[in-house]
Amino acid sequence: MEWLVHLIPRQQPLLVRYGATAAMVALAYALRFALQGRGGPYGFILFIPPILAAAILFDRGSGFLALALSTILSAIALDWNQNADVHISALASFIVVGILLVVLGEGFHRALERAQLAERAKDLLLQEMSHRIKNTFAMILSLIGLQARQAQPDMRTALDAMARRVRVLASIHDHLRTAPREDHPVNLAQYLTELGASLQDSVRELRPITVLVKAQAASTPAAKALAIGLIVNELVTNALKHAFDGERIGHIEVRLACEADQLELSVSDNGRGCPESSPKGLGRQLVDLLVAQLGGSLMSQNTEPGCRVSVLLPSTVTT
């Protein structure tokens, strides 16, 4: 029904409304003669579309104009030397039906106008709410950054990790904010590429490490995209923290491959390799929880050099 909302034109000048109405009635009248009586003895059925269209597209006055013109043209075409009483009865019935059509058409027109106004109000409300949410994310990040500068090293590390997670949430919000529809799926390739660039920018001035994203085309609902984004954020952050020694130049690669029955998401680096045994921190616990929620599995393997963490997700993630 959305297309009907956009069908209603903006308020037109009187001359335009009545001119278009007369043109539609004239077209119906010409069609009556072209059909050579196949539209019935009176051809009233051919005038119903312009009457209804005029009332829906414009207003009540246009609908009554279409009814009046249709009645006059129908009366002119009749032979009044025969069955005059029948003609009068038929025209009277047509006028009654036409009035009902105009009233119904005008009611439909007003309903569509209200729907159009409601849609515009909804868009303005969503824009305002989106703007406020974006400002809220910025304020949260500013507060975290301010607190991190005053905190001890261990606390600063935790606050920086929290800030990165908030940025992932904010990035999903930006994708939804620019989507054509509120239920529009998130483009994973574009989203992960932007996320990788953001993660690299966060360490560019501190560490000589590059983050490269190679993702095949895929899309998924926002909630699942958020989970995938958080998984990538935690795995890349873990590699940035533990894979490289000192000022060593490093490389981290994020891949997303789509197969028939599953998606493979992997984060690999050319660092020191996978730790054989180490307690799981908050980030890794979060990754395990998100992978389980998506119905996937996770495994790590040494790649000599470096470590590769692969997450296998069911194909239902993209639906």
**In the chain, domain spans:** 2-119, 186-318
- DSSP lists the bridge partners of residue 263 as 258, 313
pLDDT of residue 165: 78
Q: CA 293, CA 283: separation in Å to the nearest integer?
A: 15
pLDDT of residue 157: 78
Q: What is the pLDDT of residues 15-71, one digit of tens each?
A: 888 998 999 999 988 888 787 666 566 778 888 999 998 888 888 889 999 999 999
pLDDT of residue 5: 47
Percent of the chain with pLDDT over 70: 87
CATH superfamily ID and name for 186-318:
Histidine kinase-like ATPase, C-terminal domain (3.30.565.10)
Residue 234 has pLDDT above 60, yes or no: yes
Mean pLDDT of 229-249: 82
Beta strands, E only, the chain: 186-187, 209-215, 219-220, 250-258, 262-269, 297-302, 307-314
Q: What is the pLDDT of residues 263-276, one digit of tens each?
A: 999 999 988 888 77
Q: CA 29, CA 66: separation in Å to the nearest integer?
A: 11
Q: Under a CB-based contact definition with an 8 Å cutoff, are residues 141 and 162 in contact?
A: no
pLDDT of residue 277: 67
Q: Under a CB-based contact definition with an 8 Å cutoff, are residues 135 and 185 in contact?
A: no
